[in-house]
Amino acid sequence: MKLTTLCYIEKDNKYLMLHRVKKENDINHNKWIGVGGHAYDGESPEECLLREVREETGLTLTSYRFRSLITFIYNQCESEAMCLFTADAFEGELCECNEGVLEWIDKEKVPELPTWEGDAVFLDLLLSNEERFFTLKLVYEGDKLLEKEIRFY
């Protein structure tokens, strides 16, 4: 199982969203997601988060919170454990991302964007200001979400 991170950076009641349109053969093609990526061997989730955010956005996070552990089970590729974070403070200037277009989106408009079905589940929890840590298991067959299981702590 691979380890990944995903972060929703907040500013002025907006999330920084990445419209994945630049990479070829991208499983996330044309979807809107937060920023993040795969952890290197020996890298903690926090180290991965900070590195990936800096690489994709040019920003250095100065305040962030671990919100959820999400398990993705796919019938077409390796399973994934994703550490979901939100961040509310950063330094630096936004740069161009080689994976897609970065855009600040009003939080109330985020649910209207094309995302994975499972992303809509955890985005709904984040946007509802759910404060509790949660785990979420998402089982996919292709692009279709077959099962979801949420636990709050």
- Could you read off the pLDDT of 20-55 as tens digits, one per residue? 888 777 777 788 999 999 999 999 999 999 999 999
Kindly state whether residue 122 falls inside one of the protein's structural domains: no
For residue 134, being part of any structural domain is answered with no
Is residue 102 included in any domain, yes or no? yes
Residue 148: inside a domain: no
Within a domain: 39: yes
pTM value is 0.94
pLDDT digits (tens, 9 = 90+) for 127-153: 998 899 999 999 999 889 999 999 999
DSSP-assigned states of every residue in 85-134? EEEEEEES----BTTBEEEEEEGGGGGGS---HHHHHHHHHHHTT--S-E
Give the residue with greater pLDDT, 11 vs 29: 11
What residues make up the domain containing 84?
2-72+79-115
Q: Are the CB atoms for 119 and 33 separated by under 8 Å?
A: yes
Cα separation, 39 vs 4, in Å, equals 5
Show contacts of 62-68: CB within 8 Å, 24+ apart. 62/89, 62/90, 62/91, 63/87, 63/88, 63/89, 63/90, 64/7, 64/88, 66/133, 67/126, 67/133, 67/134, 68/122, 68/125, 68/133, 68/134, 68/135, 68/136
Would 120 be classed as within a structural domain?
no
What are the tens digits of pLDDT across the range 107-133? 999 999 999 999 999 999 999 988 999
CATH number of the CATH domain containing 20: 3.90.79.10
Tally of structural domains, the chain: 1
Whether 140 is in a domain gets the answer no
Query: Is 130 a member of any domain?
Result: no
